[in-house]
Amino acid sequence: MFKKKAVKKFLFRWMVVNVVYVLIKTTVNHEVEELDTFFAPTSIFYYSTAFLFFMVTWEFNDWLIKRERNYGKLDLKNSLKIFVQTMALLLPLSAVIYYLALFPFRETIGIHCDDPKVEFMGDFLRAGLIGSTVVFFNLFYFSMKQKEEMDEQMENLKREMLASKYSSLKSQISPHFLFNSLNTLTSLMYEDRDLASDFVTRLASSYRYILDNKEEDLVSLQKELSFLDAYVFMMEVRHKNAVVIETDIKVSPDGYWIPTLTLQMLIENALKHNLYSKERPLQISITSIETNALAIKNNLRKRELKQKTTKLGLENIKKRYSYYTNKAVLVREDTDLFEVIIPLLDKEVKEINLISVS
């Protein structure tokens, strides 16, 4: 496949060389009888140099563009830099070759011209003009290709975000979750009516938060922590002393944003994949790392699941973060500890992405 693509590229560029050479030949040589001199030494020399300059310029320009795209996107500044670097190769190369051909080795090669100086300047300027045209068209091609790739990635991200958003919400407003909550509530009504009343209030608050933010992919950390407070209360009541969840957030929560239900999903993930009891409780901590991120840790005692884990929850969170930032969601697992570090997003990130989407 790679060889086939390389052959097609070579044939296309060779065709361009031939077309340009013929156009220049027929434009410069106005007399009809001169059109039959394509195989003369002078013609062979200019054809060879045209082929050399085209291929070297094009391939070198391709290499510069691909290198720049590996470091980041192709923009105006990078394009100007690539143009200058390409011409810095082409112009000295063409100057040296034309000078040697038209002065020291003119008779050896068999080049016929009336004034070598005028011929040299004409050849040099023509090489620069054609080289500049090749570079501009190549940069334009790669810019359009980059735009198409970015548009495709944006569409894929939108589809993935939509799918992950509804998948996330479905998993949170599931009959299983509601059944467990109501089952806990039924027990509390016989044991502690005051606690049962508080549990109902927190349950209603949790569902109100989920429904109010079902169209929002980002929420302020303040809102998420308020919801988490109600959710943690229900989990601790439900699991009694078997689950301990602690938070230590030292940043201003109203100044940062995270994808909706991220913290809840990570707690659910810890509950799903670990064994815990009153004697050996599951300890989950949510702490801030300076003003950059949150670390969600839990002690690790893996349970054997009937079905192999798909890790969709973590992949969901990673994909949602990738839309807003290039900061990675980090996952670390030791023998007795599992940790997920999620970036904190500032308000500017949300506003810029909302503008780009609109």
Q: What is the CATH number of the domain that holds 181?
A: 3.30.565.10
Q: Highest-confidence range of 123-132, 136-145, 165-174, 280-289, by mean pLDDT?
A: 280-289
Strand-strand pairing, 282-289 and 218-220: unpaired
What range does the domain containing 351 cover? 173-357
pLDDT level of residue 306 (50, 70, 90 thresholds): low
Mean pLDDT value across residues 117-145? 86
Q: Are residues 229 and 320 in the same domain?
A: yes
**Cα separation, 106 vs 48, whole angstroms:** 15
Same domain, 187 and 135: no
Asked whether residue 57 falls in the same domain as residue 187, the answer is no
166 in any annotated domain: no
Say yes or no: 285 and 212 in one domain.
yes
Q: Which of 180, 234, 179 is nearest to 206 (CA)?
A: 234
Average pLDDT over residues 130-145: 86
Q: Are residues 146 and 180 in the same domain?
A: no
Out of 51-55, 69-73, 212-216, the most confident range is: 51-55
Q: What is the mean pLDDT of residues 153-172?
A: 63
pLDDT at 77 over 80: yes
Q: Which of 43-47, 267-271, 328-332 has the lowest mean pLDDT?
A: 43-47
What pLDDT is stored for residue 309 in this prediction? 57
Residue 177 shares a structural domain with residue 43 = no
Nearest C-alpha neighbor of 236 from the set 272, 265, 210, 199: 199
Claim to verify: residue 119 and residue 201 sit in the same structural domain: no
Whether residue 215 is found in the same domain as residue 284: yes
Using the 3D structure, point to which of 91, 118, 151 is the last residue of a domain.
151
- On the 0-12 / 13-18 / 19+ scale of CB atoms within 10 A, 250 is exposed
**pLDDT at 353 > cutoff 60:** no
In this prediction, residues 176-182 reach a mean pLDDT of 74
- Residue 354: pLDDT band (50, 70, 90) is very low
Q: Are residues 293 and 341 in the same domain?
A: yes
Residue with tokens 């052959």: 7
Lowest mean pLDDT among 6-15, 30-39, 42-51, 344-353: 30-39
Residues of the chain with pLDDT > 90, as a percent, come to: 14
Q: 310 and 197, same structural domain?
A: yes
pLDDT > 90? residue 299: yes
Question: What is the number of structural domains in the chain?
Answer: 2
The side-by-side arrangement of strands in the sheet containing 345-346 is: 218-220, 256-259, 345-346
Residues 178 and 326 in one domain: yes
